Structures are given as structure tokens and as C-alpha cells.
Structure 1
Amino acid sequence: MTKILLTGVTGYVGGSVLTRFAERPDFDSLDIRCIVRSPEKAERINAIFPNVTSIVGSHSDIPLMAKAASEVDIVIAMADCDDEDAVTGTLQGLKKRFEETGKQPIFINTSGTGVLTDGAGGMYASDIIWDDADPEQMATLQPNQPHRPVDLKVLEADAEGYIKSYIVIPPIIWGIAQGSLFDLGISHKQSILIPMGIRLVLSRGQVGMVGLGRNIWNNVEIHELADFYSILYDALLSQIDLSHGRKGYYFTENGEGSLYEYMKAISEVMFKMNKGKGGEPIEFTEGEIKKTTAHLMGGNTRCRSTLAKALGWTPRKTTQDMLDSIEAEVELTTATL
């Protein structure tokens, strides 16, 4: 029986991946453990999925993570991709697992395309496109890039030989997550960018952007992203000699658009729904940028999912589908305020 530790299952991505795994025909044969802060949510998860064991605690608790990781064959991390304590504990546990079994456990770490961001400040679209099939290009990423410190710890462990690592790098994720975990309020239904844009309209009257909003971000629909984790899992269990470590990056994108395009669409939809005054996105002031993380929205993060799609991942939702989904996002976001 394959033993798997999932982190972040009360979140948007983690909840979607657990939901997707529950649809697999072999789900009942899997021994799944997850880390959950809330004892109440832990009980509810166990009630929904009898073969899932919830461990109550924090991802930042190094001894807890080390113990949990030492008892499994695979870790799929989908919580805070900047939590260095979480990755430290996970790697300690996986190293112990390797020493005890002589077999390299698998570590699938979820990063994000923020690792690619440049200093465009919204003023231009970059011509640089990062490709997951180009390890030499990926190696040029600087160690101080967002998410990079955690990714480098994972890669170092792979290079030492006690794990096989695979780093999944999603771009902007969109769509309202579906399934019992979300219906019961256990996991978060929404991502970050579109709800943030909606709340900005409600608070300042108009949506904002960094600079001219010309910078480009890729995107992926949440359920198609969750599909990729299942496809990657199948590939890892097959006889395929899958590249790992510095050759084991997987971008998960299926379209791109400018920050201006995304924010303009939010403005238009909210005007149509009588929830905003419409008009062009307004540049964030220096004061707004200092008070928030808005500056992170101004970079380019263009990428291509060559390796991910070579595994048979066939996402179909496009940027236009993302824009068409905004009305449902507005309805849900405003209903929960």
C-alpha cells in the first residue's frame, strides 16, 4: 500500500488535489495522511474519506513534519511554498525514511511562477519565456527569487541522493473549486488574484494595476491543475524513468494574459453587475504598494509546460475561459463579505 503525505488540504490547491485523488479507481488502496491545524476539520476530513488520516498540527512544526514524512513513500506539499520550516522538517523525515528503507522517497513540492518574476513594474511584456524542459535555463534563477529558497533546499536534497524531487510550478490559478471539502467549508474555494481584484473594486471604487499592467502572467484552471498531480503520480509509479531534481520542474499553464487584461475584465464584469463604476484600471499609488504586496503583481512570469504536457496532461481551459469565469467569482466573493 502506497503511503502518501499531503500538506495544504484545507487550502485551494491541496483540497482540489485530495478531491481529485478521491476520484481515482485505486483511491481506497492508498494510505493517505494529511496535516491539518484544526481538530474539527481533521474529524470532518476523516468522516468524508475513511482512508485519510488527519494529523493535527502545523506545517511549521519541524518535529511533527519530520515524523510524518518519515513514515511515507511520497510527500505532496501544497501549503505555503515559502515555509522553510515545513521543508526542513519534511526533508529530515524523508532522509530518515531513505536510511531505514534504502529506497528514495518521492517529494513533490508545489512552488509558483512568482519564482520567475522580473522587475518590469508593469511597464512592459518580457520576451523571456521559461521552459520546464530547459534545466540550464532554470538553473539561472537567482536564489533570492520568491519561493526559490525552499525550491533550492528540495533540489539540494535530491542532489544528495536521499529523495527524488519534482517541483510543480503553477501560474495564476483560477476557477471555483468543487467537491465536498469545499461545499462543507473545510477547504478554500477560491484562489488569490481574481478575488483580490474584486475586493479592490469594492474598497477603492476601481480595480488597480502596477504601472501600465503590460506584464504577462500565465494561468491554469484549478481542476485541470489537480489533474496534473494525478497524472504525475501515475508516471512516478510506472516504469518511466522520469527526470527529477534539477531536471524535474513542471510548469502547469495553459494560456497567458497581461495584468491589464485581467484587471480590465474584472472592472467590466463588476460594472455590468452594478458592483463597480467600471472604467480603466487605476495604477496603484506608492502608498498602496507599500501597504500591500501589490508590487509582486508587476512582474512577468511567462512559461511553457513542455514536460508537463509530455506526460499526457491535456488542459483545455483557456485565458478566455478564465475571463468568462469572473462573474461567478464576483458572486461568490461578494456573497462572503
Structure 2
Amino acid sequence: MSSTHIPILILGATGYIGGSVLSRLLAHSDAKSFEITALIRSVEKAECLRGFGVKTVVGSTDDVEKLETLASHAHIVFSVVSTDDLPAIQAADKQGYLKSYIILHSLVYGMASGPFVDLGIQNPFSMQIPGLIMAAFDRGHVGMFGKGLLIWPSVHIDDAANLYLILFDAVLANPEKVGHGREGYFFVENGEHTWYDLSKAIGGPFVKAGLSKDSEPTTLTDEELIKYTGSVEIGHKMGSNVRCHANCARGLGWKPTKTNKDMFDNLSLEVSALLNIVQAKQQKAST
């Protein structure tokens, strides 16, 4: 790689996936040639990241003008934020010079780890599995989307984050060999599961911990979907049917190591970690 410094902008740097990507960028063999800038909402988190040599700008993806300026100064942008944030995505694309590479996640599982998690500035939890666990705490019984027959693919957080760096290296090494735009979609998966099997597996640790008498999941009602996901529409979307294969990602040399067995085997750890958080909040509220 050239000794020239490469300006990199990362959005979502303290999020579940974004923090895992940033920690890998900082550990990259060529990290000394990177000039990394992160757009951060929190002043405290921004100050902490500066200690790692990351330049920070306090703001959010709602600050479109600021985002456009930051993107125009970067050679590479890691946008590890919600794909529904259309203005944020457009702010790096309006001039028509962007080569986009889109990573499409399946259900990402496992608790994130690394220096940012240790410091308490990175969210260590995903969405779907912790969401089901937290709902089960509240309702006293594990729930599932619909009849649980629909299928989703899954991938471990470490495998998902590794793909960002594999794609990054491939683009730097020979951008002409890596598809972009319509050809630059990279699915991320390493196995499939039904929602019933996942919810049933969550129910096991609940019974073992004495939090429920039965591990058999029951269907979340429309009222519960609104309560736990925000709306019936979002709930149905989360419990929908998704099928894909990560052929393009594997074609880059991505070799995921975690399987569904790892997802199911580690559910008790997530139940325990989230239960500790819930109990700590309850204790704080009672004092």
C-alpha cells in the first residue's frame, strides 16, 4: 500500500457493528496510514475515541450539511448506520462520483467485544435476539413472531465485522476487480433458522434461570408487537421470511467461522447479561 495517508470517515463508530469495524481498522496492519474521522453524537465518547488516534466531529447523521462536508474530504466512507437513513446515504452520493459497496446483514448475533465495549462506549448488543429476550423478561414467557415458521439467515458479529475489512482491503488492492453500485451488494450469512427454533432456544435459559415455567414460545400479539418493536409493521418485518446466500462475500475470501450452533449455545450468556442490566436498573430505581 502507498505511504500516502488515506482519509477515512466512519458513521456509527460506537454502534454494535460500527464499533467492531472501527476496532478492526485501528488494528489493521496499515493503520498508521489511515486518517480516521468519526461523526459522534456524544461529546464524552468523542473525547474517548480521540485517545485512540481517531479524529472526531460531534454531530449526527441529521446534520446533512456537516455530513456532506465530511464525506467530501474522505476517500473512503464506512456508513455503519441505519440503511433507512436516506438523507445520510444521499449526502455521500449527490455528486455522482461515489463507488458504493453495500453490505446486507442478516440477523447479527453475539455480544460485541473489544476496547470500546470494555470502556463502555460501544453498544455490545444486537437488536432481534436482545429484543426477544427483553420482551420475555417483561411478559414472563418467551415470544415469537407469528407461528415461527418463517426463516432468517444469521451471522456472528465478528464474522460480519471481518467482512468490512476484507472488502476494504480488496477495494484498496484492486478496485476494478470488485463490483460496485448494482454489482456491489454483499450478503452476510452463515446459516439459517426459523423464528420458532430461535425463540424456543431462548426459552431454555429462561426455564433454567427460573424466569419461566415453559420454554415453548407463544405468538406475540399485535399489541405486544407495538409495545416491543414500535409498531405492528415493524414487528411483521422483523419476523418476515428472508433467504440469501453470501456468494459474493465468499468470493472475496470471506470465511465465516461461527454457525447457528454458536448462536444457540451462547443464548444463555446474552440472557444472563441482559438480566444483570435489568436487575441493576430495578435496584437503582428502588433506591
Q: Same fold (TM over 0.5)?
A: yes
- Where do residues 123-272 of structure 1 align in structure 2 (5 Å cutoff)? 157=96, 162-239=97-174, 240-272=176-208
C-alpha contact 1:66 1:91 (8 A) present in aligned 2:
no
Structure 1 distance, partners of 2:98, 2:90, is 13
Aligned position for 1:273: 209
The answer on 1:335 being equivalent to 2:276 is yes
- Where do residues 41-120 of structure 1 align in structure 2 (5 Å cutoff)? 41-47=45-51, 49-50=52-53, 52-92=54-94, 95=95
Aligned equivalent of 1:36, options 37, 40, 44: 40
Could you give the per-residue CA deviations for residues 195-224 of structure 1, whole angstroms, max 9, x where no partner exists?
Answer: 111111111111111221000011111011
Please give the root-mean-square deviation of Cα atoms over the aligned residues, in Å. 1.3
Structure 2 distance, partners of 1:238, 1:89, is 26
User: 3-state DSSP class of the match of 1:187?
Assistant: coil
Structure 2 distance, partners of 1:23, 1:276, is 42
For residue 244 of structure 1, what is the amino acid of its counterpart? H
Structure 1 distance, partners of 2:114, 2:165, is 16
Deviation of residue 89 (structure 1)?
A: 2.3
For residue 46 of structure 1, what is the amino acid of its counterpart? R
TM-score by length of 2: 0.90
User: Which runs of 5 or more residues in structure 1 are unaligned?
Assistant: 96-156
C-alpha contact 2:14 2:123 (8 A) present in aligned 1:
yes
For residue 208 of structure 1, what is the amino acid of its counterpart? G
Could you give the per-residue CA deviations for residues 96-118 of structure 1, whole angstroms, max 9, x where no partner exists?
Answer: xxxxxxxxxxxxxxxxxxxxxxx
The answer on 1:294 being equivalent to 2:235 is yes
Could you give the per-residue CA deviations for residues 298-317 of structure 1, whole angstroms, max 9, x where no partner exists?
Answer: 21111100000010000010
C-alpha contact 1:267 1:278 (8 A) present in aligned 2:
yes
Structure 2 distance, partners of 1:30, 1:12, is 22
Deviation of residue 75 (structure 1)?
A: 0.7
For residue 276 of structure 2, what is the amino acid of its counterpart? A
Structure 2 distance, partners of 1:265, 1:288, is 20
Percent of aligned pairs sharing the same letter: 40
TM-score by length of 1: 0.77
The answer on 1:11 being equivalent to 2:15 is yes
Q: Cα gap change, 1:287/1:82 in structure 2, threshold over 3 Å: closer, same or farther? A: same
Count matched residues: 268
C-alpha contact 1:32 1:53 (8 A) present in aligned 2:
yes
